[in-house]
Amino acid sequence: MSIEARLAELGVTLPDAPAPVANYVSFVIADKLVHVSGQISQNAAGVIRGKLGADMSIEDGAEAAKCCAISLLAQLKKACDGDLSKLKRVVKLGGFVNSTPDFIDQPKVINGASDFMVAALGDAGRHARAAVSAASLPLGAAVEIDAIFELV
């Protein structure tokens, strides 16, 4: 089953890849690796803001992380000239969670992105990962995730 078909089964349509908000590029292709810049938690309604441990639940944070994963795939699609069949695997996700100093469940939040990658990509979605806390994130976002993908 194609990635696009799997996404459709999950009820997900990839948005247009978000444009950078500062002086950087959305992705860099080096050999067979696509390095995608950090994607903040946003959906069609805008930036998903909040601070885990204060005004946002783990479940809401995981949903915000899933939104980051969707944006990461949108960037990958752009990098692959619209052809997601060029993807071999997800290599690594780097997750940042806007949280209070005493919040310790960053991995549970970033699971929202990890679980989505596996649901959308099967075994090719399994990856190495980091999940760390941040005192704040750009635009007040709840989550930011960057990624490395390998192409065939």
Residue 73 domain flag: yes
Domain ranges, residue 70 = 25-151
Residue 20 domain flag: no
Residue 15 domain flag: no
Residue 18 domain flag: no
Rg (CA), the chain: 14
pLDDT tens series, the chain, 152 aa: 899 999 999 999 999 998 998 999 999 999 999 999 999 999 999 999 999 999 999 999 999 999 999 999 999 999 999 999 999 999 999 999 999 999 999 999 999 999 999 999 999 999 999 999 999 999 999 999 999 999 99
**Residue 87's domain is classified under what CATH number?**
3.30.1330.40
What is the Cα–Cα distance from 132 to 53, expressed in whole angstroms? 14
> In the chain, how many domains are there?
1
Residue 143 domain flag: yes
Residue 30 domain flag: yes
Residue 116 domain flag: yes
**96 membership: H or E segment, kind and range:** strand 87-98
Could you tell me which residues are beta bridge partners of residue 98? 134
Residue 121 domain flag: yes
